[in-house]
Structure 1
Amino acid sequence: MLLCLPPSEGKTPAPDDGAPIDLATLTAPGLTARREQVLDALAAVSARDDATAVLKVGASLAGEVARNTALRAAPAAPASTVYTGVLFAAAGLADLDATAAARAAASVRIFSGLWGVVSPQDRIPAYRLSMGVTLPGLGGLAAAWRPALSAALTGRTAGDVVVDCRSGIYQSAWRPVTTGDDAAEWVTVRVVREADGARAVVSHNAKHTRGVLAGHLLRRDGAPPTSAQELLGAARELDGEIIGTEVGTGLSYRMIEAALHDPATRRGPRTLELVIA
């Protein structure tokens, strides 16, 4: 299993006494050269007067953007504690026992406009950069990362299942090969809510539910799934469980069904649909 997660927009800075990042220790060392280039380009643009506009963030985040100018010297902490937000809170990557943490190190890849991919245990500083940004000298980050990510990940996923919880812009940076010798089973995760007999796609609850699924895949007994059908079986272990609470109302919701749908195109992903109510 390769479990692909998006980064969170919000990030928790490492403690002030944390050692700075060591690029040589990050997962996928083949990405080091590109990481160096993106770091340099990000530092340069973050020092400009129009930095917030280039990085597509509001003026209220100017302090976080300024922090981008000194990331090499900034304190770092495990990515599992730096990335925050709904999905990561639900997955609980920072609270895994030793067995689950080892599984996460081997199978979880968090995609990033700055680092390409990192594992939960990789030590990184807090930063502000989306994959949807175009950096001067590098161009669009999704396209800039694509060759390096393909070289780093495609061989890793051959004959395995890719569980994809990413949004579209992060998917555009790397998509699994689904035909030929390097083929993987690519499965995206969709969450829908059932109410009064009708089903509709949800947003906040979707992030939370994907996080619950990610945490379950890491903590459950037995080997990680290696096929779409095994993934479906693992997801169905959550059927009937209360998995979250509605923001505002305080009402709980449970997962009532998991289903696997065929791809829309020959090279596209299958879809694991999780139904909550």
Structure 2
Amino acid sequence: MLILLPPSEGKSAAAKGDPLDLAGLAFPELAEARAEVLDALEKTSAHEDAHAILGVGASLADEIRRNLLLRDSPAAPAHAIYTGVLYDALGYRTMTAAQKRKTDAAVVVVSGLWGAIGFGDTIPAYRLSMSVDLPGIGKLTAFWRSRLASVLDARAGGSLVVDCRSSSYAAVWSPSTERTVAVNVLQERNGKRTVVSHFAKHTRGELARHLLTRRGKQPETPAHLLRAASELWTCELTPANTRRAAQLNIILAAG
């Protein structure tokens, strides 16, 4: 099983640790591309209009300045750097040692800076969204789309891919529709269903945790995933077709 996650916007900077080792990250085939994006991000972050280019408010000036020191800043495992609703719900810190090993093996984070990394890869805290048009690189979605396909196709192999990415990160790689399930979270009120972004992040984190900590075999097919998710939620599965992966809809009752 491969679980795809987006990065968090907010990140918790490491207080200590060795600096970034680009060659030590998963998917070493991406090392040259990562270095290109890293160089461009450093140059952009030194620009007086960096906050506008990177699409962040002036209140995040400290995070932009942090982008200037990424090669020398302390690095920590991705699961410690990424924070926020989804990652809080996943709760890596409270897992057992065996569950953490399973999580490190199963989770890949798709990133605007790194392309894709393993959950145990050590990285510094940074600020860069996949939606950015980065000077010297161009639109990051297009840049990474041309580089991730072969790498992630090989990583997925014949495994079930549980896609918990948000739309901009999903745009950079489309796994085989036959082996992929995209996770949607809907809220139902008075018979009407709506998409709820905040609860979606939380529920996707809870789903990832459930799949990685429950007893028994990991799901190997969309039908297996539906059964596993239905242990906690009301769920529906829309089958895949030639153009679209299967869709797991998790239905939350309105509070």
Give the TM-score category using the shorter length: over 0.9
Question: Which residue does the alignment assign to 2:179?
Answer: 185
3-state SS of paired residue (1:152): helix
Match of 1:247 in 2: none
- Partners of 1:42 and 1:170 lie apart in 2 by 18
For residues 235-258 of structure 1, give each alpha carbon's deviation from its aligned partner in whole angstroms, at most 9, with x where no partner exists: 1121xxxxxxxxxxxxxxxx3x11
Q: Which has the higher helix share?
A: 2
Q: Which runs of no fewer than 5 residues in structure 1 stay unpaired?
A: 179-183, 239-254
Per the alignment, residue 5 of structure 1 pairs with 5
> How far has the Cα of 1:167 moved from its partner?
1.1
- Unaligned stretches of 5+ residues in structure 2: none
Q: C-alpha separation between the residues in 2 aligned to 1:34 and 1:95? A: 34
- How many residue pairs match? The answer is 253
Q: Aligned-pair distance for 1:111?
A: 1.0
Amino-acid identity (%): 50
SS of 1:160's equivalent? coil
User: Aligned partners of 2:193 and 2:52: how far apart in 1?
Assistant: 38
**1:272 partner amino acid:** L
**SS of residue in 2 equivalent to 1:4:** strand
1:225: which partner in 2? Answer: 219
* 1:31 and 2:36 are equivalent in the alignment: no
**Greater RCO, CA 8 A, separation 6+:** 2
Give the equivalent residue in structure 1 for 2:59. 60
Partner residue, 2:138? 139
Within a 5 Å distance, the mapping from 1:1-277 to structure 2 comes to: 1-15=1-15, 17-178=16-177, 184-238=178-232, 255=233, 257-263=234-240, 266-277=242-253
Measure the CA separation in 1 of the matches of 2:138 and 2:83.
27
Length-normalised TM-score, structure 2: 0.95
SS, match of residue 271 in structure 1: strand
Q: Which amino acid aligns with 1:221?
A: R
Contact preservation (8 Å) 1:104, 1:119: no
Q: Displacement, 1:134?
A: 1.2
Structure 1 length as normaliser, TM-score? 0.88
* d(CA) in 2 for partners of 1:116, 1:6: 11
Partner Cα separation in structure 1 for residue 215 and residue 24 of structure 2:
30
- Deviation of residue 269 (structure 1)? 1.4
Q: Secondary structure at the match of 2:237?
A: strand
Residue 110 of structure 1: SS of its match in structure 2?
A: strand
Q: CA deviation at 1:13?
A: 0.6
Give distance in 2, aligned partners of 1:7 and 1:232: 25
Shift of 1:165: 0.8
1:148 CA displacement: 2.2
Give how far 1:169 is off. Answer: 0.8
Could you tell me how far 1:195 is from its partner in structure 2?
Answer: 2.3
After superposition, the C-alpha distances for 1:196-232 in whole angstroms (9 at most, x for unaligned) are 3332221211111111001111111122212111111
